[in-house]
Each structure stands twice: as structure tokens, then as C-alpha cells.
Chains A and B, each alone.
Chain A
Amino acid sequence: MDKERIDQIIDKHHGEASSLIQILLEIQAENHWLPKEALERVGERLQVPMTRIQHIATFYKAFSLVPKGRHQIHVCMGTACHVRGASRVLDTVQGVTGIKPGETDLDLKFSLETVNCLGCCALGPVVEIDGKTHGKMAPAQAAGVLKNYD
């Protein structure tokens, strides 16, 4: 992500330190992760110490400090999905992808995250891949769905 684009985002928020989280969210949304140079630029422009940026970037779940895979898998671990067997679905997804929640595989194919509720409780257990919701998942089905991605 180039410096100019980062500056544009910062300018949109009038360079205010209180907009720090909003600025980081926009960078994350466009770039899919927060490179160190971007954080440094934000700190410099907003006059905010790196300690605070680092805390925010690791405190909130939306942010990633490493590049993400081509496909984002979100396994819903909401309570409704949990009582319908989400943890067994997660086990299978981990088995198929070889990664744990919060990780990205070496080929940058998949990034796996657990989420606390996607609010599609009628469809639980739910797995979301690249924003597409796959409902009423059983372990075997989840494995089948993942095969469609490369």
C-alpha cells in the first residue's frame, strides 16, 4: 500500500488521533493487513506513539499484522452454532487446511479465523468463506466445500 493512499485515508479523517481506529480499519479493509510502514506513517501523521498503535492493532480482532491467504475461512463459534456441533466442524476444517485459527498456510491459500457469531443462527453451524455463507454444515460437508477452493 503506498504512502499517498494512506495519507488520503488519514486526510479523510482530518488527521485526528481519535480517528486512529477508523483509519486503521480502512487500511485493513483495503490492504487486508497492516504493514509496519503503514503503521509508522499513521503514527507520524497523527502524532500517536507506536505503543498505542501496536496495542490497538493487536487488541481488536479486525486487524492483522501479517499478510492473509487468498481465501478467508470464518468458522462461526457462536453459541447457537456451538450447541449444533461447530467445534467438530472446526476440527475438520483444521484437519483439511492444516492450520489453526489465526493462522495462514505457507502457500497463502487459506487464512482461518473463528468468529463469535455471524448472526445466521438459523443456518448453524455456519462456515463463511470469502464472505459466502455455507449453512447447516456437518464435518464431512465442510471438508467437501473446502475442496472447491484453490
Chain B
Amino acid sequence: MSRINSPAELEAFRSNLLSERDPNKTCITLCSGSACHASRSREVAASIQEEIRKQGLDGEVELRRTGCHGFCERGPIIVIRPEEICYFQIKPEDVPEIISETIKEKKIIERLLYTDPATKEKIIHESEIPFYKNQGRLVFGSNVQIDPKSIDDYLALGGYSGLAKALSQMTPEQVLEEVTKSNLRGRGGGGFPTGRKWAESRNAPGDTKYVIVNADEGDPGAYMDRSLLEGNPHSVLEGLIIGAYAIGSHEGYIYVRQEYPLAVENVNIAIRQAEEYGFLGKNILSSGFDFTIIVHKGAGAFVCGESSALMTALEGKAGEPRPKYIHTAVKGVWDRPSVLNNVETWANVPLIINKGAEWFTQHGTEKSKGTKIFSLVGKIANTGLVEVPMGVTLRDIIFQIGGGIPGGKRFKAVQTGGPSGGCLPEELLDLEVGFDELTKAGSMMGSGGMIIMDEDTCMVDVARYFLNFLTDESCGKCVPCREGIRQMLKTLTNITQGKGKEGDIELLQQLAEVAGEASLCALGRSAPNPFLSTLKYFRDEYEAHIKEKRCPALSCKELISYYIDPDKCKACTICGRKCPSEAIVGGKSQIHVVDQEKCTKCGTCFEVCPTKYGAVTKISGEPVPPPIPEEARTIVKKSKEK
């Protein structure tokens, strides 16, 4: 490949590329994101290749291994184009049939289609499936069409035309103005206006400035950034180069967690390709603008998602945050002006430059423009990544796209914003999703984690869970965070273990004030949110734990007991065989009894007891009935008696 030297050459290259690609050629796209690797996507790919060869289709059918399609619940997914036939949960064993039936004979294989749970109707096309139909995928949409290791795939979809436009038709000031006018706000957590941050850095004194991609996605239960960086790395690079041009930076960093090996691999490949094509390096597209990118792997510290801590880490030190009375946009890495934005924010930039701020602001609400990618996980039917315009209600995301709560359970809360966010109850389901709306409700947008909780989730335990996470992830430098949240965790742990006392809630509130007001960085200042939001909306659960030593969700181990209802036990012996601690007494035709002394409360008996019997129950806040006497345990089947 020779270097592309001008916007005209880029367009010529692109049209040549498109003319060589037959839009009617059969193309099987297979999602190969990290999550699908766990569901044997690699084996599926190998067997597709093998079958294509075996069935004599070499050259006629193309296999494209794309990034994440988002519908992780049903992965691995293949889409057969141009017909757009969509098959789910493909196993390697399904492949020969797919090739011989669908590819060769154009016959649909019913069992691999999506079945609408409501109507029981089989759906063939991706775009008609409710999960996809109700989304608006501006940023994430290309993922399903691109092999992330191929820059040509990105170019075929119009890639790098935003960069060409910025460099050839716009001054840096105009780029900055367009981004400012778009009202793009940071997708990483705070929702700070991107244009303002860029302007601050552009206007800051100094010749050396940096632009940084924050791909240290650390919120547990959130993987939007990974999927973007893995699945469409060039969109992030393009945004970064445009941003660098606007700010006047010639060196960029991508800070990506080493726990994301595929993202690291794909982004490194993308950088090499962009260098080869001339989108990185000296005199990009003959504009006179130079820019290089360095990949820095994060070594595993949640606090490094905080911008100043990330910058400290980039300098090769332990990632302790710095006070930001002077913004990092003015004084960041090596004390130089540094603009740090999250992966998704950068990926929005090429769209804004290409289509204009006016187009962008048509999406979303008054104060939150564009779309947002959420990772919808937890007790939800359709786990996956969803991209929706800002302003869509939580209800639509959870029930229309997410398919609601599985197992006939009742929705209890949705946790947004990661460990810095909060839990929102059923009453707020009609809340429109936006930066300010979520903050006002006591949570926050965060980077886009959306964890759904049902009636079995204990809200006190959720608060304890996040405080436990933060106690471990705090850098430990300042007292309110290190000591304050540690004491909060101790108190919350006591409450979930039935050791809560009068006054604990007030103590937690005071500690929350100190951590929230006096901590050095955003990690500490937002650490009380999981507690404050659960207290605000689920105070009754706190009181039940403290006053009645009862866990209403029947979840806190120390507050529940497992009990086998003697009237329902049919002595099927399954629980006894599965119990890992030999805590179930009983045998054939013997009503089973839980030995409370031996029981470790792992819940296995509860899970394995056949639904038709439902004999194993959980008890909380009241004593366990005494075991029935041994002589009464024999089950006599009436038919045999006669």
C-alpha cells in the first residue's frame, strides 16, 4: 500500500475500493468481540472457513469477523448479507447446515432465527428484531459491518473523510467551533462540554500539547468502550486526529487497560495501518499537520479512569489523582495542556465534522445531544450494548429493547453510572435519559453502565458491594476517601450481617458528607452515591436489616436460612446430591431436612429443587421451624398402600 497524499487521492482510493467490492457477493459477518470469544466464536469462524472450502465456495462467499454486534445475550451472531439473514447462538456444529442450506440453497433455518418472546414470531432480518429496531446506532452501527483489522472496511464506509474534510476545508478554529456548536458532552462520566475543554487547551500557553483517549474502562458491568475500540478502532483514531488538529497537538496517547488484550491488539494494528496510509505521521494528507499516537497499557487501577490519575500513570507513576484547581486541559501530562476524552466521545467527532453540528444536534434532548451507548446487564432478558438517542426513557431501554426482566421476576432498580452512580427505582422508569436528568435523580450518566436489578437483589448489599469495590480501588492518598469510605463499608457490612444498630444510618450520612465534600478527586467525592441513592429510594430495606434483622430480598447470607417445606418435599434427592457441604439429611422416600449447622448458604438446594415442587425456601427475620421428627419423614406413596 502506498501512502495517500491528499483528500483527492483518498476519494480516488475509496471509489476504487468500492468498485472492487461486489455488493451482491454473499458475506457472512460473525461477531468476534471478547464476549463472543467466550461463547466459542473462534471455533465457529474456523468451521465457517472450513465449510466454505469443503463445499466448494472459495471466492464466492466471504467471511468477515467483525467486532461486537451488541446483542451479547444471543451471541455468537452471524448476519448473512446482502439478504441480512440473522442467526443467533451459533455453535460450530450448526455451520455445515448453514452453508449448505442457507448459503447454497437460500433456505432459512428456522431454529437459528430470533423468536420474539411476546408474539412467538420468528424474525429473519436483524433490523426487524426489537432489540435492534428500537435503537439509534450512530456510533456503534458500523461495528456490524467492519472487520476491525481492516482499514479498507472502514474506508469503504466513508472512513477518514471527516479527517480529510477537517484538514483540507477547515481551520483548527472552525473544527473547534463545530464541536462546540454540536454541544457534545463527555461520554466518560462527568458530561463536561467537549468543545469547552478543547478551547481551554487550545488557548493554554505552551507549544507541546497532548490529546488522550481514556480507554481505562473500569466500571464493573460496562464494556461499551472496549467494544468500540475492539470493533471500530479507526473511528476513535480519526476522532483523536481531528481533535489534535483543532487543539494544536502533535502527540496523542491511548490509555487502554491491559485486561482488554483484543482492544490493545486491534488498536495497535489500526495505528500501524493509519501510519501506512498516511493518516498518522508527518504531513498528513499534505496538510502540513503532524501527529503520532502512543499506546499505553493500564496496569489495573480503577482510579486511573480519573483524568489526573490517568495522566500521572502516563508519566510512569502510581496513579494518584492530582488536585484540579488548575484544569488538566491547561496543566496535564508533564504539566502541559492535555485534552482527555473517553473512547465514545472521540468516536463521535468524525460524525460531527462529516455531517455538521446542526445534524448532530437534531439527535437527543436540549441539554444532552446525540446518542449514548449503554451496557445493559444484570437481571435483564437481552444483555447487550444498546445505543439510543438521549431522551429515551429508562422504561423503553429496559423493557422495549432489553426485553424486561427474565424469569417472571419484578423489576426493582436500575443502577447507572458505575460505582459513582446510583440506583433508580420503578417510580423513575419514565425518566428521560440525559446527563442532567440522571444527576438530578441522584445517579449519573457515567460511562454508560446500566445494571438491572430485580426483586431478589438487596439494595443494602448493592451499596455495600460498591463501597467494597471503592475501598479497594481508592488510591489511598486522602483521608476522607481512604478512611471515610472504609468506615462506610464497615458499617454497611455490619448491617448486611445483622449487626446493624440504631444510629448507623445517621453515621453513614455523616461519613458520606465528609467523603463527598472533602475528598481530593471524583472517586472519593462520588463514592457515597451508591449509599445515598439506595437510602433515598429504598430506606425501608435499610430499616428492615437494622431493626428486624431481616433481608427483604432474601439475599444477605447472614440473615437468611434455607428451609425445606416438609409438605412440599417429594424426596427426589436432587438437593441432597448437589449440596456441596453435605448439609441435607434425607434419602429415598425420606423428607429432606437442612442441617442448619452444616449449611454454608450457598443456595444450591434452592436452585436445583425442581420448580414443580418448590420445596426449598428462604426464611429471613423469623426463626427456622424445627425439623420434623425423624419418624415422620418417610413419604408413603398412596397408590402403593392400596
Complex: A in contact with B (CB within 8 Å): yes
Cβ of B246 to closest chain A Cβ, rounded Å: 26
Cβ of B232 to closest chain A Cβ, rounded Å: 16
Closest residue of chain B to A17 (Cβ to Cβ) is B316
Stretch at the interface among B217-225, B324-332, B430-438, B622-630: B217-225
A140 to B580 alpha-carbon distance, docked (Å): 7
A122 touches B35 (CB 8 A): yes
A63 touches B317 (CB 8 A): no
Residue from A18, A25, A121 in contact with B383 in the complex, judged by beta carbons closer than 8 Å:
A121
Q: Does B318 contact A (CB under 8 A)?
A: yes
Q: Does B578 contact A (CB under 8 A)?
A: yes
Cβ of A19 to closest chain B Cβ, rounded Å: 6
**A81 / chain B contacts, CB cutoff of 8 Å:** 221
B35 touches A117 (CB 8 A): no
Stretch at the interface among A1-9, A65-73, A88-96, A103-111: A88-96
Q: Does B379 contact A (CB under 8 A)?
A: yes
**A16 / chain B contacts, CB cutoff of 8 Å:** 316
Stretch at the interface among B11-19, B206-214, B293-301: B293-301
Report whether over half of chain A's contact residues are helix, strand or loop; otherwise say mixed.
helix
Given A85-B603, A120-B34, A121-B221: A95 in contact with B318 (beta carbons within 8 A): no
Q: Does A62 contact B (CB under 8 A)?
A: yes
- Which residues of chain B from 590 to 626 have any CB-CB distance to chain A below 8 Å in the complex? 600-604, 607-608
Contact pattern, B 461-472, Cβ under 8 Å of A = 1, otherwise 0 = 010011001000
B299 touches A61 (CB 8 A): yes
Q: Does B319 contact A (CB under 8 A)?
A: yes
**Could you say which of B220, B300, B378 has the most chain A C-beta atoms within 10 Å of its C-beta?**
B220
**B375 / chain A contacts, CB cutoff of 8 Å:** 121
A63 to B298 alpha-carbon distance, docked (Å): 11
**B39 / chain A contacts, CB cutoff of 8 Å:** 123, 135
Q: Does A119 contact B (CB under 8 A)?
A: yes
**B603 / chain A contacts, CB cutoff of 8 Å:** 85, 88, 139
**A21 / chain B contacts, CB cutoff of 8 Å:** 296-297, 299, 313, 316
Given A139-B604, A143-B580: A79 in contact with B38 (beta carbons within 8 A): no
A25 touches B299 (CB 8 A): yes
B220 touches A78 (CB 8 A): yes
Contact pattern, A 45-83, Cβ under 8 Å of B = 1, otherwise 0 = 000100010011001111100000000000001111111
Cβ of B492 to closest chain A Cβ, rounded Å: 14
Cβ of B171 to closest chain A Cβ, rounded Å: 33
**B301 / chain A contacts, CB cutoff of 8 Å:** 59-61
A48 to B219 alpha-carbon distance, docked (Å): 32
B602 touches A91 (CB 8 A): yes
A147 to B75 alpha-carbon distance, docked (Å): 28
**B383 / chain A contacts, CB cutoff of 8 Å:** 80, 121-122
Q: Does B358 contact A (CB under 8 A)?
A: no
A118 to B602 alpha-carbon distance, docked (Å): 23
A80 touches B221 (CB 8 A): yes
Cβ of A122 to closest chain B Cβ, rounded Å: 4
Contact pattern, B 248-263, Cβ under 8 Å of A = 1, otherwise 0 = 0000000000111000
A95 touches B600 (CB 8 A): yes
A59 touches B600 (CB 8 A): no
A25 touches B258 (CB 8 A): yes
**Could you say which of A22, A48, A79 has the most chain B C-beta atoms within 10 Å of its C-beta?**
A79
Q: Does A138 contact B (CB under 8 A)?
A: yes
Cβ of B349 to closest chain A Cβ, rounded Å: 24
A80 to B298 alpha-carbon distance, docked (Å): 23
Closest residue of chain A to B218 (Cβ to Cβ) is A116
A18 to B469 alpha-carbon distance, docked (Å): 28
Q: Does A31 contact B (CB under 8 A)?
A: no
**B259 / chain A contacts, CB cutoff of 8 Å:** 62, 115, 118
**B314 / chain A contacts, CB cutoff of 8 Å:** 18
Cβ of A25 to closest chain B Cβ, rounded Å: 6
B297 touches A56 (CB 8 A): no
Q: Does B451 contact A (CB under 8 A)?
A: yes
**Could you say which of A84, A120, A133 has the most chain B C-beta atoms within 10 Å of its C-beta?**
A120
**B534 / chain A contacts, CB cutoff of 8 Å:** none
Q: Does A24 contact B (CB under 8 A)?
A: yes
B38 touches A135 (CB 8 A): yes
**B378 / chain A contacts, CB cutoff of 8 Å:** 79-80, 83-84, 121
B302 touches A116 (CB 8 A): yes
B226 touches A79 (CB 8 A): no
**B84 / chain A contacts, CB cutoff of 8 Å:** none
**Could you say which of B72, B75, B318 has the most chain A C-beta atoms within 10 Å of its C-beta?**
B318
B297 touches A80 (CB 8 A): no
A55 to B75 alpha-carbon distance, docked (Å): 41
**B299 / chain A contacts, CB cutoff of 8 Å:** 21, 24-25, 56, 60-63
A126 to B75 alpha-carbon distance, docked (Å): 15
**B34 / chain A contacts, CB cutoff of 8 Å:** 119-120
Cβ of B252 to closest chain A Cβ, rounded Å: 15
A116 to B473 alpha-carbon distance, docked (Å): 10
Q: Does B457 contact A (CB under 8 A)?
A: yes
A122 to B39 alpha-carbon distance, docked (Å): 10
**A20 / chain B contacts, CB cutoff of 8 Å:** 316-317
- Which residues of chain B from 245 to 279 have any CB-CB distance to chain A below 8 Å in the complex? 258-260
Given A80-B378, A121-B72, A138-B604: A116 in contact with B35 (beta carbons within 8 A): no
Cβ of A130 to closest chain B Cβ, rounded Å: 13
A122 touches B73 (CB 8 A): yes
A79 touches B384 (CB 8 A): no
Given A24-B299, A79-B221, A123-B35: A138 in contact with B315 (beta carbons within 8 A): no
B75 touches A22 (CB 8 A): no
A59 touches B465 (CB 8 A): no
**A121 / chain B contacts, CB cutoff of 8 Å:** 35, 72, 221, 223, 375, 377-378, 383
Cβ of A140 to closest chain B Cβ, rounded Å: 5
**B457 / chain A contacts, CB cutoff of 8 Å:** 83
**B465 / chain A contacts, CB cutoff of 8 Å:** 79, 82
Can you name 5 A-B residue pairings with CB atoms under 8 Å?
Answer: A80-B378, A88-B557, A121-B223, A122-B383, A124-B377
Identify the B interface with A (CB < 8 A). 34-35, 37-39, 72-73, 75, 218-223, 226, 258-260, 296-302, 313-319, 375, 377-379, 383-384, 415, 449, 451-454, 457, 462, 465-466, 469, 473, 475, 557, 578, 580, 600-604, 607-608
Identify the A interface with B (CB < 8 A). 16-22, 24-25, 48, 52, 55-56, 59-63, 77-85, 87-88, 91-92, 95, 115-124, 126, 133, 135, 138-140, 143
Which are the 8 A-B pairs with shortest beta-carbon distances? Answer: A61-B300, A60-B299, A119-B223, A133-B38, A80-B377, A121-B377, A79-B221, A122-B383
Known: A22-B297, A56-B318. 14 other contacts (CB 8 A): A52-B318, A62-B259, A78-B220, A80-B220, A88-B557, A92-B580, A92-B602, A116-B220, A116-B473, A117-B220, A119-B34, A123-B38, A139-B580, A139-B602
